[in-house]
Amino acid sequence: MPLYRDEAVVLRVHKLGEADRIVTLLTRRHGRVRAVGKGVRRTSSRFGARLEPGSHIDVQLYSRLPEGQAAPGGRRGLDVVQQTESLGAFGASTASDYARWTALSAICETAERLTEEGEPVLRLYLLVVGALRALAAREHHSSLVLDAFLIRAMSTSGWEPALAECAKCGEPGPHAAFNVAAGGAVCESCRPPGSARPLPATIALMAALLGGDWVTADASGDAERREASGLIAAHLQWHLERGLRSLPFVDRARA
């Protein structure tokens, strides 16, 4: 720094004044970074189209902070985008397909909420790039790509749901009950009141998504896909609300 280069995924974009944009990037080596793209909304801009949500880019940034110096309050402030090269226009190639576009948006939003500014998270970065690439390539159903991303992202954050053993006592499964607050599948003696009783195929699908077993995941039926989506979303929401309670942006949490 102050000039540095990195690979990044554009997570979020918003307008700044007449022609500029503020972009939230998840970079490979510098974690989450907020930066200004100057003039990107002018039609003549050289890199405007590359600063869209879901774009995978090689980017050169200018930081006002000298190397190693933390900003007051731990926030880095805004860097400035100097130059970009496209590595994959995943946003542009999914924008015409509503289901894929909403999956891409959910992946970007979750990645932002699971990261802190300036803290590198290589495993999560690679998961984001892999998920966006799979959406753009139409390799699997978009809801499966999203759920695989979410359950694996939770695993990198230390919130992997128990699927084989009981989340409380470790008793080997499979177990019929699932409880988000308890941490996943639970045995009959540990099962808290009000636990869900998902289809056995639902737990198998969640294990396949976590382990990257796409043969099993692609062969799954609608009922277990719906149920797995609900359990994964509930598990993520539960942990996000508790994990981020002390952070200022927690009020953006969806109900």
Interface positions with Zn ion (CB under 5 A): 166, 168-169, 171, 187, 190
* Closer residue to Zn ion in complex, CB, 8/186: 186
With tokens 């939230």, the residue in question is 24
- Shortest gap between Cβ of 239 and Zn ion (angstroms)? 20
CB closer to Zn ion out of 100 and 168: 168
* Closest distance to Zn ion from the beta carbon of 198 (Å): 17
For residue 174, whether the previous peptide bond is cis, meaning omega lies within 30 degrees of 0, is: yes
Least distance in Å: CB of 182 to Zn ion? 9
Question: In the bound complex, what is the minimum distance in angstroms from residue 126's beta carbon to Zn ion?
Answer: 33
Name the amino acid, one letter, at 249: F
DSSP at 117: B
CB closer to Zn ion out of 122 and 169: 169
Beta strand 55-62 with 79-89 is antiparallel
Pick 108 or 185: Cβ nearer Zn ion: 185
Q: Which two tokens stand for residue 166?
A: 């009981």
Cβ atoms within 10 Å of 26's Cβ, excluding its own: 25
- Residue 184 C-beta: closest distance to Zn ion, Å: 11
CA distance between the termini of the chain: 40
As a whole number of angstroms, the distance between CA 226 and CA 10 comes to 29
Nearer to Zn ion, 54 or 173 (CB): 173
CA 213, CA 215: separation in Å to the nearest integer?
6
Q: Which residue matches tokens 């949490």?
A: 253
